[in-house]
Amino acid sequence: MKKLYLFMMMALFAIPVFAQTNYNYYLSNVKASDDFENVIYQIDESFHVGMIEFFEEGEPSYDRYVFYDDNGNLIKLETHQYIEGEYVFVNYIEYGYNDLNQKITRKNYNNFSGTFELGGTYYYSYDDNGNMVYWELDFAGGIFQKCELTYNEDNNVVQEIGYDQDFSGAFQNSWKIDYEYDNQGNKVSCTDSYWMGSYWAPSSTDRWTYDEYGNCIVHELINNGVVVEKSEYNYDFNINIENVVLYENPENEFPVFPYMTNAVVSEKYYLENEAQQLVHVCDYIYSYEEINTTCVKENELSLICYPNPASSSFMIQSEDVENVEIYNMLGNKVFSGAVNGSRQIDVTDFDNGVYVVKMYNEGKTSTGKLVVRR
């Protein structure tokens, strides 16, 4: 990955993405202009992101299967890594919640020779305002690391202090994060520091700049007073982000979305090179799909298929389509048949993924997309 992020518990403060169901769009793809990175999102019938596919340099890298409970809480992530031409189930993470739908546990399991072993468990605690104020990491039956969080009167986190256990079993200062906000409550900076035995030594600062609508337009990572990483964002002001299905991203992995009220559509990314110059690396393009039951509609041909995404079967309805063909992403035809007004198609033998639907009538052809996800 070209982007470097602090892989800590920052995602704990992300805006919940399942607060309402009036969705008109979903983020379907984030792709680098140099084709080095490509991420594809698929949603399920409940408007949750159910599967994520990661590609590097045009080749499969790994994918994530995402599972939810009846309240829309993300309860499990499965990671399948692409190794020697096939996907291997290598890791899964489970999340637990209390009756208030607050995340209270995170358990990580890794595959060792076909057996999944627990790597560690995070436990989270909250105050009466619903703010997470403490977490600890239990590893091999003992508390290995812990963190305390404090908030301002607007319930914005202003500081995190992390403690590690030393050889004597006592907890010592380890790391600290300080946050600052503007008058609108937008996070404008966070500074990471490490404990040097008698004082805190700052290591890096993230800084954000916003437009008048609350969209982050510039993000900078600063080391020793020098900008070493930078992103510039552009937005579609016709799309409100509250009407978009986004991946919750609890592990804070690439791509990390900017703070936004509208839908980000592009990101110009800069990184410091070996000559300590900030250079343009690539652009990231964010693509969105409308959420509806119309699978295809182009010129005079239209086709309705539902549910889309489908798990076991889906129904086709059309007044002006004679024949339909379905192809997988390798270009292999997996279905062909007549429609005759309506038809139910079994997809239990289809692999999870995106399929191309082609329809024909009197020499006219149109194409669309079908998603299969279980």
Asked if residue 349 and residue 206 are part of one domain, the reply reads no
Number of domains in the chain: 2
pLDDT score for 292: 59
CB atoms within 10 A of CB 245: 23
pLDDT of amino acid 302: 65
Domain boundary among 290, 324, 339: 290
- Sign of the four-CA dihedral 248, 252, 255, 258: positive
Structure tokens at 231: 């992103």
Report whether 209 contacts 218 (CB < 8 A): yes
Structural domain that includes position 351: 297-372
DSSP string over 112-171: ETTEEEEEEEEEEEE-TTS-EEEEEEEETTEEEEEEEEEE-TTS-EEEEEEEEE-TTS-E
**Which 8-state DSSP code applies to residue 271?**
E
| 41 Cβ neighbours under 8 A, 6+ residues apart | 26, 27, 28, 29, 49, 51, 52, 247
- At residue 315, the pLDDT reads 81
In a domain, 243, yes or no: yes
Is there a single domain that holds both residue 58 and residue 106?
yes
Name residue 162's beta-bridge partners. 147, 175
Q: Are residues 269 and 306 in the same domain?
A: no
* Domain assignment of residue 174, yes or no: yes
Of 158, 160, 197, 198, the C-alpha closest to 176 is 160
CATH assignment of the domain containing 366: 2.60.40.3080
Task: Say if residue 127 is in the same domain as residue 199.
Answer: yes
**In contact, 45 and 55? CB cutoff 8 Å:** no
Task: Please check whether residues 69 and 194 belong to one and the same domain.
Answer: yes
pLDDT for residue 17: 37
* Measured distance CA(338)–CA(322) in Å, rounded: 6
Q: Is residue 4 part of a domain?
A: no
Same domain, 75 and 183: yes
Q: How far apart are CA 113 and CA 2, in angstroms?
A: 30
Q: Please check whether residues 86 and 232 belong to one and the same domain.
A: yes
Classify residue 242 by its DSSP letter: G
Q: Which of 290, 322, 337 is the last residue of a domain?
A: 290
Beta-carbon contacts of residue 16 (< 8 Å; ≥ 6 apart) = 248
- Contact between 119 and 106 (Cβ < 8 Å): no
pTM: 0.74
Q: Are 251 and 234 part of one and the same domain?
A: yes
Tokens 């429609």 sit on residue: 339
Each residue's pLDDT, cut to its tens digit, for the chain (374 residues) gives 554 333 333 333 333 333 445 788 999 999 999 999 999 998 876 778 888 999 999 999 999 999 999 888 999 999 999 999 889 999 999 999 999 999 999 999 999 988 999 999 999 999 999 999 999 999 988 899 999 999 999 999 999 999 999 888 899 999 999 999 999 999 999 999 999 999 999 999 999 999 999 999 999 999 999 999 999 999 999 999 999 999 999 999 999 999 999 999 999 999 999 999 999 999 999 999 887 544 544 455 666 777 777 878 888 877 778 888 998 877 889 999 988 878 888 999 998 888 888 888 877 777 777 888 76
pLDDT at 21: 52
Assign 209 to helix, strand or coil: strand
> CATH number for the domain including 34?
2.40.160
13 found inside a domain: no
Residue 135 exposed, middle or buried by CB count within 10 Å (0-12, 13-18, 19+): buried
Cβ–Cβ < 8 Å for 208, 227: no
C-beta contacts of 275-284 below 8 A and 24+ residues apart: 276/226, 278/227, 278/228, 278/230, 281/2, 281/34, 282/2, 282/32, 282/33, 282/34, 282/36, 283/32, 283/33, 284/30, 284/31, 284/32, 284/33, 284/37, 284/255
On whether both 219 and 309 belong to a single domain, the answer is no
Statement to judge: residues 175 and 275 lie in one domain: yes
